[in-house]
Each structure stands twice: as C-alpha cells, then as structure tokens.
Chains A and B, each alone.
Chain A
Amino acid sequence: MMRKLMSSRQTSFAVVGLAVMVVGFPVLYLLVEVAGLNPSSAKLVELGVSIQLNYIGNRTFTWRDRESGSWLGGLVRANLSRAGSAILSWAVFVALNNHFGVGYLFASAISVISAMGINYAASHYWVFRDPKTARRFSVPDLAMLTRLARIGGGIAATIMIWRLLGTTGLIYAGVLVFVAVMFFVAISSLWLSLYAWHSPEHMESVGFDTPQEPQNSFSIVIPVRDEAINVLRPTVQALVNQSHPDFEIILVVSGEDDEDTRLAAESLRDDNPGSIQVVYVTGRKNKPLALIAATPLCTKDVFSIFDAESIAAPDLLIHVDTKFVTSGADVVQAGVQLMNHDDSWYSLLNCLEYYRWFKSRLHWHANEGFITLGGNTVFIKREALQAVGGYDGNMLAEDAEIGGRLSVAGYKVAVAYDPKLSTREETPESVPSLVRQRRRWMQGFFQAYSKGDWRQLPTLRQRMLARYTLLMPAFQAASGLLIPVSFGAVFLVKVPTLLALATFLPIIPSLATMAADLVAMREFGRDFDLKITLKHRLQLVLGTMVYQSLLSAAAVSAAYRHLRGINVWDKTAHSGSHHKSEDTLTTSEESV
C-alpha cells in the first residue's frame, strides 16, 4: 500500500513537471518573440513562472494528502529549494564538464537528473512536509549520501573558486565561509535560547501544570563528597519536607577516607529514621560512579538526582509527578537556578545563563528530540534508566551523555520551569573554578560526541541537532579567535571593504544576546523578587565580553585536552583532596 502510494506520487510529480514544461515553451516563445526579451532573461522569467506552477500543481495533486502548512510558507520553501537545486545542478554541470572532461550533453543529462532527484526530495521532505508527521520521515542512507555529496561538493567548489578568484580570492572566500558559519552558530544559539520568548504560547508552555493526585513514587539520590554538615543538612531537610507522599532518599558518600562527610550523612540518617539510606563508594571517585552505585538500591518508580548543596522547593515532587502524567514523558527535567547574582560580576552572568537555559532553551531541545540533561533536579523513570544501561562511569558530562542515549532510545523528555519550583544553587566560588567547571562540561560534550551514540538517532534533523549541540564548545572556541582577527583585518591589513564588513557580522548576535540578557535579567529579577539596579545592568553590559572570553578560553582548553586524551575525572581523583576549589569538588558542581 505504502509502496503503491510512493510510486503514484512520483508519477504525479513527473506529470506535473512535464505539464509545466509544456506550458513553459509557449511562454518562452511569447516572451522572446512578442515581448522582445533576450532569450536568457526570458528563460529566467519562464523558470520563475514554472516554479510557481510546479508548486501549485504539486500542492494540488502530488502531495494533496499532506497538511503542508500555510500556502505562502510552502511557496517560499518551494522557491528556495528550486533556486538551490538550480545552483546545484549548474555546479554539477560545470564540475563535470569543465573539470572532469565529461561531454556537455552527458554532463547536462546528469545535472538534470540530479536536479530532479533533489527537487523531489526537497518537495517530499521540506516543501510539503507535514508539520505533524514530519519527524517520521527519515532516510538512513541519506547520511552516507550527504557525506559523499559534501566531500565532492567541497572539492568541486574549492577548485571552481580557486580557478575563478585565484589564491587570494580563495583565502578571502575561506574567511567569508568561516565568518558565515560563526554567524550562523551565534545567531542560531541565540534564537534557541529565546525559545520561551518566541511567542506568547511558548511562554505559557514552559511552566508546570496544576498538581493532581500523586501517581509515581520517587527515589532521590544525593551524591555527597567533602560536604560539611551545615551544607548538607538544608539540602536533605528540603527533600525530607517534600509534600509528596511517596519517596526515599539515598545519600551516596564517595571516599572511605572522608570521615567528616560520612559522619554528617549518618547523623542525617539518624535524625530522619526510615526515610534515608546511606551508601558508600570506594575506589575511583566521580559523580557517575556514585550514581551507578545508588541505582540498585532504588525501589521507587522514578530515579532522581539532587546535588548536595541545592535547595529544592517543598512542592517540587508533587508537580513533577503531575508533569509525568500530563506529558506522558519518561524523563522530566525541572529548573535549577543560581541565586547569588550579587556576589560577583561573573555570578550575575552565570545566573542569567541558567535562567535562559532552564526557562527557555532546554524546552526547545526537549521538543526537537535531542537533549543534554542537567545533573541536578532531573527525574528519570527507573525502567527507562535501566533500558538504556544506566550512567556511564567514564563520562565527564554523564548527565548530558545519558540525555543523548535516552533520546536515541526514543524516550520522551519533558522540561518544566517555574521560578517558585526551581532548585536553588550557587555559582562556583571563583573565576578559576568556573573556568574548570566549564572546561569539564565542554570536554564532556566532546567526549559524548566521540562516543557517537547520537549517530543512531532516527532522523537526520535530530542527528544534525546532536552534532550542533555537542560541538557547540568548538564553535565557542573559534568565536573567541574571531574577534581579534576581525579587528586586525580592518585596522592592520588592507582587505577589501566587503570582507572587512563581513568579519563584523558575528558582532550582531553578540549585541543581540546582550540585549536579550538585559530583558531576561529584568524578568529574572521579577520572577525571584530580586532588585535589579543600574549597577547590574552595567555589570551585564561590561561583563558579557569578558565572560564570553572566559568561556572561549575554557573551550580552547577543553578541545586541547580532549584531543590529547586528558581525562579530568581520573586526574583529579588521584590528586587527592587538598585543594578544595579544584575539580575534586566534582559532586558539588552542577552539570548542564
């Protein structure tokens, strides 16, 4: 049945194309003979007309079974895709004919056939995509094809540009491509982080629903290491006091040599008889190993993680329970918020980063089917966790990595954010520890990228998204290099005006991000009843560049360490616990 539909669709596509071609001849004839246009511009007009006719025909007949969204939107997509395929088929022709010596008629035949294929694929997957079912279409072979096409196209384009522009031109073109990629990455990541502000509907959708009758039970795992009792007690107390009726708490203490932490955990257990278990991890110490150790002890429906120094809201569990029910999800990520925005210049920017991430960007990831989970206030159905094989003890960003595997296995992730229900945390205590924390996360992203589970994601779109997300630190590293290059290009080297202008392009997203942060900061203050003053605004405007440079530096360092195979967990595990602000404090660092 499916097979027959497909073949009739292709027939219909061909018939429409043929009919439009037949109509095109008299149009071309009239334009040249009657209107007096020269043939090449008449052909251009005819091409334009036939694109529209093809669209109308294919919308009316070939893809009439699809709800292809708005008429105008489809028209725009049709024009874009046809323009793209025209350029491609021209490039194929030129490459075959000029550079590989294929006869022009044969080259033309190949270019026409490839254009037809591209047009059909573009129409099927993009122009007439059905917004509701679009995700179901995936072509495993497409990855292979695109890789081949990319390599071939890249070589052909490079040769053509080199032939056309010479060596200097090739370098300029390279710079332009680099700038364009940086611009795309910066502007798209800004756009994603603004998910909640895209429309009033999105703003509505990021919150929790009104809680209903509890239906799930929770195992709460708290990895503990080098924690003083006065830090740990409020964390545990906030969880013990949850309004939800059915949950257990498991404290995982890493390190047999850590007597103080062990005593603190045991005293908390004795203060709350029956609701807290304590388990010890020996040998290698890191957060994923602690989580792995706790997993077999969990008896409830949902496995959840809280950091040792974070304060949960009393009604959090009951809301998360409802979120599981209403969304039908297997994983719920609830909000985490850094609260000490007044402590230092960077803590303000750090707070805003969390605000945008949990309130906005993660929701987009959840909707698109590839998400890097956080390491705190995350809730995973126990059977889902077991089905994907639990945490990976070798990962630097175990939370991001398991998020990817859950996406691959097709588990649904829901994100919910409400300022009143977000878990409160504090920023790293110094700039070096912030940079180290970021370096670890970024290296963890590279590690998850290399591990490659994401390659099994069902759709091309998801795989592209995974690539984009996990490689983001690499772009960040590159963007750190771009700013000095662009200033150098303008003021030191004499380059063409257009090129100099282009190198400034990526500054637009930077400014836009700053503007968006100013607005987000105001809403952050309103959400958490914090006073936002002129001082904060100045801090934001002046600090953003420095903060971004810190992140870029962390990214460069992370890339270096990843390529050299330096693994932070192991290294710091052996270095002992004599300097507290080092990476040894792994359990107290929150991973996004």
Chain B
Amino acid sequence: MSNAKTDASPASQPTSTDWAGLGGTFIRFWQRFARRMWSDPVIIVGLLLVAGLVHGLQMTVTPSLLTTDDEGTYVAQAWAILYKGALAHYTYWMDHPPGGWIQMAGWAWLTHAFDRYDSAIAVGREFMLVATLASVALLYLLAKRLGMNKFFSIGAVALFALSPLAVYTHRLTFLDNIAIPWVLAAFLLAASPRNRLAAVIGSAVCFGVAVLTKETILVVLPALLWQLRQGTHPRTRRMSYFLWSVFAGCVGFIYILMAIVKNELLPGPGHVDLLYAIRWQLFDRASSGSFFDPTSAASVIVHSWVRLDPWLIGLAVALALPAMLRRQLRPVALAFVIQIAVMLRPGGYLPQPYVIALIPFAALIVAGAVGALWNSGLLNRFHLLRNQIPRTGFSYAQVLVQAPALAIVAVFGLVIAVPQWSPRLHDLMTDDRNVSVRQTMEWVETHIPTKKGDASPVHILVSDAMWVDLKRLGYAPDWYFKVDLDPAVKANYPQGWQDVDYVIFTNEMNEIAKSDSKADMTTTLASRKHGTLVAKFGSLSETIWIYQVHKPLRTSSGTG
C-alpha cells in the first residue's frame, strides 16, 4: 500500500479536484485504481500471467522432445525417485548433483504429474514453467533492489521472458533452468537493503541449493560475493561473510557427504565414485573446440543461440562494461562477464544449456544500463542544462539524456523485437514438433506386444526421450548408451545384439554414431545392422526409425 502512494503519477494529480459530478467520481476512482494497479504485487501478477502464457502455450510439444537426450534422462531420474526409490533409472554415478531432479520429483509427487501426461518429458516441461515463473518474480524484485524503477524492472523481466532464445531454452528440461530461481534468490537476498544477517544466511542456503541443482553455477560465486559486499554493512560484514561461507559450504557439502555415506567418494571395486565423476566432467569430456573456430561444436551451439535471438546476449555483451559504471550493477555484470570468459576459454566443454545462466544477467544488464542512462544526472553539473524548457516539465539535461535512451528502447522495440521476435514466439506458441514421437509411441503400442511368446520381456533399445513412456507401457526399454557402458545393464544382454528385439533410432543417435565422439554404441549399431526398418516417422531432426532385430537360428550356437 505504501508503495502505491509514493508512486502516484504526478501528472494526473491536479485534475482530481478540478472535476465534479459523475465524471469526477469516475476519474477519482480511476486514479485510485491506477495507483493500486501500479503496485509491486499487481505488476508481478501481470508479469507472471504474460510470462506464463508465452512459456506455457505448446510447451509440452515445442521444441521437439528429440532436441536432446538430457531431457529424457533428467525426467527418467525424477521418475526413478518416485517409482523405483532410487536417484536414477540406472546406477547413479554422480554425473550431476541430484538436487534438480529431486525437486522435479517433488513437484511430480505433489501434483501427480506422471499420471497427468502420456509423455513423461511433459512433466519436466511443466516443472520448467514453475521454475521460470519463480524466476520471473525474483528477477523483478532483484531488478528493483539493484536500483531500477518499475518500468525498467518490468523491462528486465520482459527481456527474460520474451526473448525467443529464452523461451526456447527455458522450456527444455535442463537442470540449469531449475537452478536459476535459486541463484536469483541468492542474489536478491545478498542485496539486502537493510544489511540483515538473516538475508545473508538465506542467500547462502539458496546458493547451496543452486549448486546442488547444477554444479556449473559455481562460476558466478565471485559475483555473488561482490553482491554480498554491497549488501552488508562494514560493522557486520566479516560475520556475514563467515556465516555465508559456512552455510553455503554445508549445503553444498551434503553432496559429498552423500557420497561418503554411500561409500562412493573414492574409487574402489564394484561401485562408482565421485572423484571419477568430477575428473570426467572437468577433464575427460570431449572438448567442444574453440568458439572462434567455425567448424567446432562450440561454434555450432553458439550459432544455434544466435539464430533464435542475437540481441539479448549481444546487447548484454556490448553493455556489460558500461553497466559496470553503475555501482549497483557491477556484481550482476561480473556474473555475466565471468560466464562469457569461461565460454570463450579454449578447449573446454560447452554444453547446450550453458546459455540459460547467461539470460537473467543479460536481461539485468540491458535493462539496468538503459535505466541508468535514463535516470542519470549526467548533465546536471552544467548549469545551463538544468534550466527547464519553457512550457514543459523537463530540463534540457533530462531531454538530452532521456531522448537517446528513449530512442534506443524504441529502436530495439520497433525494429528488432517486434519484427524478429514475434514470428519466432508465434511459432513457439503454436507449433507442434512432437508429431513423430507421438506417432512412434502409437505404432509401438499397436504393433509390438509387451511380452514375447515365452512371457519374456521385449527389449527395446531407445533414447532417453522415450524411455519412461515405454517402461510405463510395460516394455523392457534400455537407454542405448547403457547397454555398452553400464556392466549391470550389459549383463542383461549376454549375447549382445541377439538379445535385442527392437531399436528405435532417432536423428540424434544417428549424428552421434556418425561423429567421432568417444561414445560406445557397438550393440546399438549391431542391432540395427541385423534388423529391418519396420516403421519411420517424421523428417529432418525429428526423424525416428524403428528396426526389428532378426535373431539367427538358435541351433547354430546351441549345444546340439
């Protein structure tokens, strides 16, 4: 309420007494209404509605469920928590901390999500909507705490929620999307305007959870510590830092403690170990090459972002350093710059969802920098410019600064956002890129029995995108990677491809098989070689091929 009063628009005030009668009553009512509407809770509700609509329409079918195997993997892991009581559908080898899919499982458990959808990935997509909505509210509050007024705070959220790149990646079931609200909450609490120790501890816990959700978010740590410096008073700063470290460290340490308790910290026979997982993530993963090499994987990924929307990240790169002129924007700008620097490092692994953690900071930088320009008293030191322009409410200084800012916003809005973003958003909100998967599932259900003649299960090698769905229909699907990689799974296929009944091939599997990646697909490829194509759906990246594997006559290998 108090906010509403202070934010009353001065231009509309004098009229309230000038009018009498019905018209005056109406105007007064309207003014009161407008003032109420311009309060933070109402703005946040409005932002949630718009963001929810743009994110939510067609989110379970666009982008294609075949975009990446990761989506299916995370959803299968959440499914395994609820229905198998394990942290993963195969042996959990601590490739990522489990915080993200534990939260997803929590949502699915609360809302019976797996009962509501035929396609398991839709559950993950729905949870991404929840995460994005949380991020929207937090981002608005954070923007305000960083000194932006309501207009620019709304602008920051608009960039975050409407950029086609953001909408596209926010919809995909990635752990990064789940980590973002926690990171934003950590920044929001670190920026406590009243320097409260409680907020500092809250920030630490949120950051700990963020790291347990997606470990890569650790790279923004220096920026968060800087934010913490701005949100603490010299008299209590040391205490704040120490306690922040303890609480963030303890929450993060749960992951390592879990490994210790399960005896999976150090290498040993017969079990996975955390040290191996860390070594693999940091050093053994295939390099994505240099971003500057146009043929490298890194470059391909960056170009896929640019195709969706070059402007948000591009503008943020351009404005990151200018934004640092403003004290309050320095930490978030640093968070962005660190991530860009890590991305450009040669020889590392650049994952597809890397851009997700860039987006909120980019939005803050762009909105914050323009807002800072708009509100700056840049030219106020020149006496002449402080004079009012006759018959307007503005000073020369204001106009000289605010006109360019307005121009930037107008150009961005009219020339870029509307013509470039709207068709892409329209596609995202109307397309159905899931036809081939649906057709495949229907075909499998009608053409393949769940049990063979001798009541043994039907083994289908498949990508994780369809694993849970097949499992729930009663088949015995296996993620094609695991057949060669996981000794426990390999044991179910003593005769290799001869124990496979069907292979469902996706375009992604094709690409991996063709590429020189280190992935071992021996059994999968052998099964295809000995199979016949029985059905094919979709085209281009959404193509799916179903092969039935032909067994050789048993007599040849039998005891005779």
Binding site for B on A (CB under 8 A): 37-38, 40-41, 44, 71-72, 194, 197-200, 203, 490, 497, 500-501, 504, 507-508, 511-512, 515-516, 518-520, 522-523
Residues of B within 8 A of A501 (CB): 254, 257-258, 261
Residues of A within 8 A of B116 (CB): 37-38, 41
B 236-253 contacts with A by CB, 8 A: 236, 238-240, 242-243, 245-247, 250
The reply to whether B243 and A203 form a contact with Cβ atoms under 8 Å apart is no
Q: Which residue on chain B has the smallest CB distance to residue A41?
A: B111
Closest chain-B Cβ to A30's Cβ sits at a distance in Å of 15
**With A41-B116, A194-B239 given, can you name 18 additional A-B contacts, CB distance below 8 Å?**
A38-B115, A41-B113, A198-B197, A199-B195, A200-B233, A203-B233, A203-B235, A490-B261, A501-B254, A501-B258, A507-B250, A511-B250, A512-B246, A515-B243, A515-B245, A515-B246, A519-B238, A523-B238
B197: which of A194, A497, A500, A523 is its contact (CB, 8 Å)? A194
A41: which of B112, B254, B261 is its contact (CB, 8 Å)? B112
A508: which of B242, B250, B262 is its contact (CB, 8 Å)? B250
Q: Which residue on chain B has the smallest CB distance to residue A491?
A: B261
Task: Please measure, in the bound complex, the distance between the C-alpha atom of A497 and the C-alpha atom of B264, giving whole angstroms.
Answer: 12
Pick 23 A–B contacts, CB within 8 A, sort by A. Answer: A41-B112, A44-B111, A194-B239, A197-B236, A198-B196, A198-B197, A198-B198, A199-B195, A200-B236, A490-B260, A497-B261, A497-B262, A500-B261, A504-B257, A508-B250, A511-B250, A512-B246, A512-B250, A515-B242, A516-B242, A518-B242, A519-B238, A523-B238
**Residue B1 is within 8 A (CB to CB) of chain A in the complex:** yes
Most chain B CB inside 10 Å of its own CB: which residue of A44, A198, A497, A515 = A515
Task: Please measure, in the bound complex, the distance between the C-alpha atom of A72 and the C-alpha atom of B239, giving whole angstroms.
Answer: 27
Residues of B within 8 A of A72 (CB): 41
Q: Which residue on chain A has the smallest CB distance to residue B1?
A: A71
**Residue B447 is within 8 A (CB to CB) of chain A in the complex:** no
The reply to whether A497 and B258 form a contact with Cβ atoms under 8 Å apart is yes
Task: Please measure, in the bound complex, the distance between the C-alpha atom of A373 and the C-alpha atom of B188, giving whole angstroms.
Answer: 39
B 152-199 contacts with A by CB, 8 A: 194-198
B 136-152 contacts with A by CB, 8 A: none
Residues of A within 8 A of B197 (CB): 194, 197-199
Residues of B within 8 A of A518 (CB): 242
Q: Which residue on chain B has the smallest CB distance to residue A520?
A: B239
Residue interface bits B109-125, CB-to-A below 8 A is 1, else 0: 01111011000000000
Task: Please measure, in the bound complex, the distance between the C-alpha atom of A491 and the C-alpha atom of B468, giving whole angstroms.
Answer: 36
Q: Which residue on chain A has the smallest CB distance to residue B234?
A: A200
The reply to whether B112 and A38 form a contact with Cβ atoms under 8 Å apart is yes
Residues of A within 8 A of B262 (CB): 497
Residues of B within 8 A of A71 (CB): 1, 40-41
Closest 4 CB pairs of A and B: A200-B233, A515-B242, A197-B239, A508-B250
Task: Please measure, in the bound complex, the distance between the C-alpha atom of A39 and the C-alpha atom of B543, giving whole angstroms.
Answer: 36
Name the prevailing secondary structure of the A interface residues: helix
Closest chain-B Cβ to A371's Cβ sits at a distance in Å of 22
Name the prevailing secondary structure of the B interface residues: helix
Task: Please measure, in the bound complex, the distance between the C-alpha atom of A507 and the C-alpha atom of B116, giving whole angstroms.
Answer: 41
Residue interface bits B326-341, CB-to-A below 8 A is 1, else 0: 0000000000000000
Residues of B within 8 A of A497 (CB): 258, 261-262
The reply to whether A199 and B239 form a contact with Cβ atoms under 8 Å apart is no
Task: Please measure, in the bound complex, the distance between the C-alpha atom of A38 and the C-alpha atom of B195, giving whole angstroms.
Answer: 45
Asked, given contacts A41-B111, A71-B41, A490-B261, whether A200 binds B235 with beta carbons under 8 Å apart, the answer is: yes
Residues of A within 8 A of B1 (CB): 71
A512: which of B111, B247, B260 is its contact (CB, 8 Å)? B247
Closest chain-A Cβ to B226's Cβ sits at a distance in Å of 19
Task: Please measure, in the bound complex, the distance between the C-alpha atom of A361 and the C-alpha atom of B208, giving whole angstroms.
Answer: 28
B 1-46 contacts with A by CB, 8 A: 1, 40-41
Task: Please measure, in the bound complex, the distance between the C-alpha atom of A40 and the C-alpha atom of B198, giving whole angstroms.
Answer: 37
Task: Please measure, in the bound complex, the distance between the C-alpha atom of A507 and the C-alpha atom of B245, giving whole angstroms.
Answer: 15
Residues of A within 8 A of B260 (CB): 490
Task: Please measure, in the bound complex, the distance between the C-alpha atom of A49 and the C-alpha atom of B78, giving whole angstroms.
Answer: 27
Task: Please measure, in the bound complex, the distance between the C-alpha atom of A515 and the C-alpha atom of B249, giving whole angstroms.
Answer: 12
The reply to whether B194 and A199 form a contact with Cβ atoms under 8 Å apart is yes
B246: which of A199, A508, A520, A523 is its contact (CB, 8 Å)? A508
Residues of A within 8 A of B195 (CB): 199-200
Task: Please measure, in the bound complex, the distance between the C-alpha atom of A44 and the C-alpha atom of B112, giving whole angstroms.
Answer: 11
The reply to whether A512 and B110 form a contact with Cβ atoms under 8 Å apart is no
Closest chain-B Cβ to A251's Cβ sits at a distance in Å of 41
The reply to whether A512 and B236 form a contact with Cβ atoms under 8 Å apart is no
Task: Please measure, in the bound complex, the distance between the C-alpha atom of A41 and the C-alpha atom of B115, giving whole angstroms.
Answer: 10
Residues of B within 8 A of A507 (CB): 250
Task: Please measure, in the bound complex, the distance between the C-alpha atom of A8 and the C-alpha atom of B243, giving whole angstroms.
Answer: 47
Residues of A within 8 A of B233 (CB): 199-200, 203
B236: which of A38, A40, A199, A504 is its contact (CB, 8 Å)? A199
Task: Please measure, in the bound complex, the distance between the C-alpha atom of A38 and the C-alpha atom of B235, giving whole angstroms.
Answer: 54
Residues of B within 8 A of A37 (CB): 116
Task: Please measure, in the bound complex, the distance between the C-alpha atom of A197 and the C-alpha atom of B236, giving whole angstroms.
Answer: 6
Asked, given contacts A38-B116, A200-B195, whether A516 binds B250 with beta carbons under 8 Å apart, the answer is: no
Residues of B within 8 A of A200 (CB): 195, 233, 235-236
Closest chain-A Cβ to B556's Cβ sits at a distance in Å of 47
Most chain A CB inside 10 Å of its own CB: which residue of B194, B247, B261 = B261
Q: Which residue on chain A has the smallest CB distance to residue B233?
A: A200
Closest chain-A Cβ to B207's Cβ sits at a distance in Å of 15
The reply to whether B196 and A199 form a contact with Cβ atoms under 8 Å apart is yes
Q: Which residue on chain A has the smallest CB distance to residue B44?
A: A72
Asked, given contacts A198-B198, A501-B257, A508-B247, whether A519 binds B239 with beta carbons under 8 Å apart, the answer is: yes
Closest chain-B Cβ to A220's Cβ sits at a distance in Å of 34
Q: Which residue on chain A has the smallest CB distance to residue B197?
A: A198
Task: Please measure, in the bound complex, the distance between the C-alpha atom of A421 and the C-alpha atom of B111, giving whole angstroms.
Answer: 60
Residues of A within 8 A of B196 (CB): 198-199
Residues of B within 8 A of A520 (CB): 239
Residues of A within 8 A of B258 (CB): 497, 501
Residues of A within 8 A of B110 (CB): 44
Residues of B within 8 A of A38 (CB): 112, 115-116
Task: Please measure, in the bound complex, the distance between the C-alpha atom of A515 and the C-alpha atom of B115, giving whole angstroms.
Answer: 47
Task: Please measure, in the bound complex, the distance between the C-alpha atom of A519 and the C-alpha atom of B194, giving whole angstroms.
Answer: 21
Residues of A within 8 A of B115 (CB): 38
Closest chain-A Cβ to B115's Cβ sits at a distance in Å of 7
Task: Please measure, in the bound complex, the distance between the C-alpha atom of A523 and the C-alpha atom of B236, giving whole angstroms.
Answer: 10
Closest chain-B Cβ to A510's Cβ sits at a distance in Å of 10
Residues of A within 8 A of B240 (CB): 197
Closest chain-B Cβ to A457's Cβ sits at a distance in Å of 26
Residues of B within 8 A of A523 (CB): 238
Q: Which residue on chain B has the smallest CB distance to residue A517?
A: B242
Most chain A CB inside 10 Å of its own CB: which residue of B239, B243, B257 = B239
Task: Please measure, in the bound complex, the distance between the C-alpha atom of A510 and the C-alpha atom of B196, giving whole angstroms.
Answer: 21
Task: Please measure, in the bound complex, the distance between the C-alpha atom of A519 and the C-alpha atom of B241, giving whole angstroms.
Answer: 10
Task: Please measure, in the bound complex, the distance between the C-alpha atom of A71 and the C-alpha atom of B3, giving whole angstroms.
Answer: 10
Residues of A within 8 A of B112 (CB): 38, 40-41
Task: Please measure, in the bound complex, the distance between the C-alpha atom of A519 and the C-alpha atom of B243, giving whole angstroms.
Answer: 10
Closest chain-B Cβ to A101's Cβ sits at a distance in Å of 29
Task: Please measure, in the bound complex, the distance between the C-alpha atom of A366 and the C-alpha atom of B526, giving whole angstroms.
Answer: 78
The reply to whether A522 and B250 form a contact with Cβ atoms under 8 Å apart is no
Task: Please measure, in the bound complex, the distance between the C-alpha atom of A41 and the C-alpha atom of B123, giving whole angstroms.
Answer: 13
Task: Please measure, in the bound complex, the distance between the C-alpha atom of A504 and the C-alpha atom of B254, giving whole angstroms.
Answer: 9
Task: Please measure, in the bound complex, the distance between the C-alpha atom of A200 and the C-alpha atom of B242, giving whole angstroms.
Answer: 16
Task: Please measure, in the bound complex, the distance between the C-alpha atom of A191 and the C-alpha atom of B116, giving whole angstroms.
Answer: 44
A519: which of B113, B242, B257 is its contact (CB, 8 Å)? B242
Residue interface bits B481-523, CB-to-A below 8 A is 1, else 0: 0000000000000000000000000000000000000000000
Task: Please measure, in the bound complex, the distance between the C-alpha atom of A199 and the C-alpha atom of B237, giving whole angstroms.
Answer: 10
The reply to whether A203 and B257 form a contact with Cβ atoms under 8 Å apart is no
Residues of A within 8 A of B242 (CB): 515-516, 518-519
Closest chain-B Cβ to A33's Cβ sits at a distance in Å of 15
Task: Please measure, in the bound complex, the distance between the C-alpha atom of A44 and the C-alpha atom of B109, giving whole angstroms.
Answer: 12
Residues of A within 8 A of B247 (CB): 508, 512
The reply to whether A516 and B261 form a contact with Cβ atoms under 8 Å apart is no
Asked, given contacts A515-B246, A518-B242, whether A203 binds B261 with beta carbons under 8 Å apart, the answer is: no
Closest chain-B Cβ to A80's Cβ sits at a distance in Å of 15
